[in-house]
Structures are given as structure tokens and as C-alpha cells.
């Protein structure tokens, strides 16, 4: 976008949300990981009067700081968050068979862990809905450069997937967060730029991209958990 003003970015996000929800023709949920992106979307939707139901995936491996943001959102916006959890039996079987850190042994084993802790709960969360909203941004990594603002999500039955912050840059997001004094995960102040499960997330080094701290032992083109496969 040539005009980087906060007003134009917020207006574009509202337009994408409104158009995407209309295209879905039914109930739309926001998948909230309590990132800066998701918090900004909640704030934008709230002040625009756009109704979004919110769900979150509790993988069992989240940081304490992530739960703090969830609590702050409930208090500030008086909104319900519907939590989804992995199937207990699947987690128990995985950890008994392969241990607690098998996801670091190979890409295949990491996908198994993500499948149990994220992908399967997501499929339950999206069952019966017409669309979902994410905080994905194009600049985050090479796996997200070909995203569109909204369109059918073939991985989830063709429901509409909406990315209202697609063209936002990290600086835009930080400026909006500060100007609105939004709840912010304390890990961002410790060098984290993308926050997921605690064992799979670390702070990034100077010059690294925003998602370099996610699954840092893998190649950049592999860094998706299955929720947003291309």
C-alpha cells in the first residue's frame, strides 16, 4: 500500500473484514493466538461494531504470558473466548511413545505434534462455521507471500478465510498497539516477534525475520504448523 497512515490501514482492515464476512454468508470466528495481530483485529472490530466470535487453541504448551493477554482481553472488551484443547488420549499416546520433545527430531514428528495440538482442535473449532479470521501478514515469512485478503480455504472445506492485516508491516502493528494501548504479550519486550508454543519459540537475533524464532531448527520454507499450509 502506498499510503501507510494508520487511518488508511485500519480502514482497509475494516473493509476486508466486512467484505469477507459478507462473502461467508454465515457465522465467522476469529482464531486468536493473542498475538499483536489478533489483538489489533479484536480492537478494530470492536470499535467498528463488527461482531466476531473468538476462539483459541490451548495446545498445553503455551507461555504464561500468553494467558495473561487472554485475561486482559476478556477484562477490556468483556468478550467470551471459546477454548479448544487437544484430545487427551492423543497427547498421552504421543508423549508416552515418543517423549516430550519428539517434535525436534524431524519435520515429520513436528507435524505429528502440531497435528494433535493444533490442527485437530482447529477442525473442531471451524466445524459448522462459514468463515474464519486470522492475523496473518504477507511480510511475516516466505510461506505467506502469496496470501489474499479473503477467499475460500480449501484446507477447511472451502469456508472463507479472512486476513484483514495482510498488508500491515510490523512497524504499523507496533504503532497501532502503542497508540491504542492494547494488551501486549510481555515476551515481545524480550526479543520475541512471533509467539507460539513455549518449546518451539525463542527470541530472534538482529536481522532475522519475524518468524525466525519459530521452529528455529527448521528451514524457513517449512515453518508452518498446518493451520495455514499453502
> Where residue 25 sits, what CATH number does that domain have?
3.40.50.620
Residues with a catalytic annotation lie at 225
Does some domain include residue 66? yes
Does some domain include residue 29? yes
Does some domain include residue 107? yes
Q: Examine the pLDDT at 120 and tell me if it is beyond 70.
A: yes
Long-range contacts of 70-78 (CB under 8 A, 24+ apart): 70/32, 70/34, 72/183, 73/32, 73/34, 73/39, 73/42, 73/183, 76/183, 77/42, 77/46
Give the confidence band of 5 by pLDDT, cuts at 50, 70, 90: confident
Does some domain include residue 164? yes
Q: What is the per-residue pLDDT across 146-189, written as a single tens digit (0 to 9) for each?
A: 789 999 999 999 999 999 999 999 999 999 999 999 999 999 99
Does some domain include residue 198? no
Q: Examine the pLDDT at 74 and tell me if it is beyond 50.
A: yes
> What is the tally of structural domains in the chain?
1
* pLDDT score for 2: 39
* pLDDT score for 143: 61
Amino acid at each position: 500500500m502506498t499510503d501507510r497512515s494508520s487511518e488508511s490501514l485500519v480502514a482497509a482492515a475494516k473493509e476486508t473484514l466486512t467484505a469477507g464476512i459478507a462473502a461467508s454468508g454465515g457465522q465467522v470466528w476469529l482464531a486468536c493466538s493473542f498475538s499483536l495481530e489478533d489483538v489489533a483485529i479484536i480492537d478494530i472490530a470492536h470499535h467498528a461494531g463488527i461482531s466476531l466470535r473468538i476462539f483459541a487453541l490451548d495446545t498445553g504448551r503455551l507461555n504464561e504470558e500468553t494467558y495473561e493477554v487472554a485475561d486482559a482481553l476478556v477484562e477490556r472488551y468483556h468478550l467470551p473466548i471459546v477454548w479448544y484443547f487437544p484430545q487427551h488420549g492423543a497427547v498421552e499416546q504421543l508423549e508416552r511413545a515418543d517423549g516430550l520433545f519428539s517434535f525436534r527430531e524431524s519435520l515429520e514428528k513436528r507435524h505429528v505434534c502440531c497435528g494433535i495440538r493444533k490442527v485437530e482442535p482447529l477442525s473442531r473449532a471451524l466445524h459448522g462455521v462459514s468463515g474464519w479470521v486470522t492475523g496473518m501478514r504477507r511480510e511475516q515469512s516466505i510461506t505467506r507471500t502469496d496470501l489474499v485478503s479473503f477467499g475460500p480455504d480449501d484446507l477447511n472445506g472451502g469456508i472463507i478465510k479472512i486476513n484483514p492485516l495482510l498488508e500491515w508491516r510490523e512497524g504499523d502493528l507496533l504503532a497501532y498497539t502503542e497508540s491504542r494501548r492494547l494488551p501486549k504479550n510481555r515476551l515481545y519486550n524480550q526479543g520475541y516477534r512471533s509467539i507460539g508454543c513455549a518449546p518451539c519459540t525463542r527470541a530472534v537475533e538482529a536481522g532475522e525475520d519475524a518468524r525466525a524464532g519459530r521452529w528455529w531448527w527448521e528451514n524457513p520454507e517449512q515453518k508452518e504448523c498446518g493451520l495455514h499450509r499453502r
